[in-house]
């Protein structure tokens, strides 16, 4: 049974399609026609690890922006996502992943409400809202297979 393709914040099936363009390089396309190019890091293209860090930060940034933005429009909203790639007995993986928000709201009552909500919204994203970081934290199994 084919599942409905969805996007946005709702539940449902998600997918992206990768197509090889050169050795170690791929175009990625979503069902809505969005495209990015990924590579090995030898050029300016994002690597898959960088995309994972971007996905973690981006998912939480959207959550936090939706929650705090109801109170005040930020004057500055930046998110740093970082980690250390290691190779150990468990194989290659990222360790010490950290996401740091630098957000400034205007002075006044609305800005005060947004500032008060900022740490709460970051915690809500971490604990239950951000699908990407929740998937990583929960250690969701990944099935890999080849087809002809």
Co-location of 81 and 59 in the same domain? yes
- Per-residue pLDDT at 8: 72
Co-location of 89 and 108 in the same domain? yes
Q: Is the pLDDT of residue 1 over 80?
A: no
Residues belonging to the chain: 148
Tokens of 48: 């898959």
Question: pLDDT tens, 113-138?
Answer: 999 999 999 999 999 999 999 999 99
According to DSSP, the residues that pair with 33 across neighbouring strands are none
CA–CA separation, 148 and 62 (whole Å): 38
Co-location of 41 and 59 in the same domain? no
Three state DSSP letters for the chain: CCCCECCCCCCCECCEEEEEEECCEEEEEECCCCEEEECCCCCCCECHHHHHHHHHHHHHHHHHHHHHCCCCCCCEEEEEEEEEEEEECCEEEEEEEEEEEEEECCCCHHHHHHHHHHHHHHHHHHHHHCHHHHHHHHCCCCCCCCCC
Co-location of 128 and 62 in the same domain? yes
Co-location of 64 and 75 in the same domain? yes
Q: For the residues 138-146, what does the mean pLDDT come to?
A: 96
CATH number at residue 102: 3.30.300.20
46 touches 57 (CB < 8 A): no
- Per-residue pLDDT at 10: 83
Question: pLDDT tens, 81-100?
Answer: 999 999 999 999 999 999 99
According to DSSP, the residues that pair with 81 across neighbouring strands are 99
Sorting pLDDT into bands at 50, 70 and 90, what band is 5? low
Q: Would residue 29 count as lying in a domain? A: yes
Q: Would residue 65 count as lying in a domain? A: yes
Q: Is the pLDDT of residue 145 over 80?
A: yes
Question: pLDDT tens, 23-76?
Answer: 999 999 999 999 999 999 999 999 999 999 999 999 999 999 999 999 999 999
């Amino acid at each position: 049974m084919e599942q409905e393709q969805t996007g946005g914040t709702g539940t449902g099936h998600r997918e992206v399609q990768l197509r090889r363009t050169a050795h170690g390089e791929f175009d990625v396309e979503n069902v809505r026609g969005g495209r990015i190019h990924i590579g090995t890091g030898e050029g300016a293209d994002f690597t898959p690890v960088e995309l994972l860090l971007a996905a973690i930060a981006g998912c939480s940034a959207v959550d936090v922006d939706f929650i705090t933005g109801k109170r005040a429009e930020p004057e500055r909203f930046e998110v740093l996502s970082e980690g250390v790639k290691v190779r150990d007995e468990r194989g290659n993986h990222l360790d010490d992943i950290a996401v740091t928000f630098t957000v400034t709201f205007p002075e006044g009552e609305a800005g005060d409400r947004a500032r008060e909500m900022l740490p709460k919204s970051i915690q809500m994203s971490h604990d239950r809202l951000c699908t990407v970081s929740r998937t990583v934290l929960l250690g969701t199994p990944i099935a890999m297979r080849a087809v002809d």
